[in-house]
Amino acid sequence: MSRVRACAVSEVADGTAHRVMLGGTPVAVVHVGDDFYAVGDICSHQRISLSEGEVLCDTLEIECWKHGSNFSLVTGEPSSLPANKPVATYPVTVEDDDVYVEVDG
Ligand code: FES
């Protein structure tokens, strides 16, 4: 795993997701309150960008806008069909004004 700068804190408004490309991998950086999360940006059902969907702050999930599967920001597991496979999750740290994500490679 290597730790790379994903974006500035100011690029991800609270309650939203921001798509970044990290080493060729699309990642959704998500901001909920004091915390940041990073999950694979491509829905495991079809090739839809999860960062275009709604962030469900209460349940710490992101919703795929295409068919409505919700993915945990913590585990990547979907809690509703039609998606039945998880998306990747990545460790996140915030340093000063920047968000860092640990990705493979
Ligand atoms: S494309 Fe995401 S749930 Fe179908």
Angstrom distance (rounded) from CA 31 to CA 84? 24
Indicate whether residue 66 lines ligand 1 (CB < 6 A).
Answer: yes
Average pLDDT per consecutive 10 residues, the chain (105 residues; last block may be shorter) = 94 98 95 98 98 98 98 97 98 97 85
pTM: 0.96
Distance of CA 68 to the CA centre of its chain: 16
Q: State which ligand 1 atom lies nearest to the alpha carbon of 43.
A: 2
User: Nearest CA to 45 among 65, 28, 30?
Assistant: 65
Q: Give the pairing type, strands 70-72 and 35-40.
A: unpaired
Ligand 1 binding pocket mutation candidate from 46, 61, 77, 84 (most atoms within 8 A of CB): 46
The DSSP-derived string for 20-66 is EEETTEEEEEEEETTEEEEEESB-SSSS-BGGGS-EETTTTEEE-TT
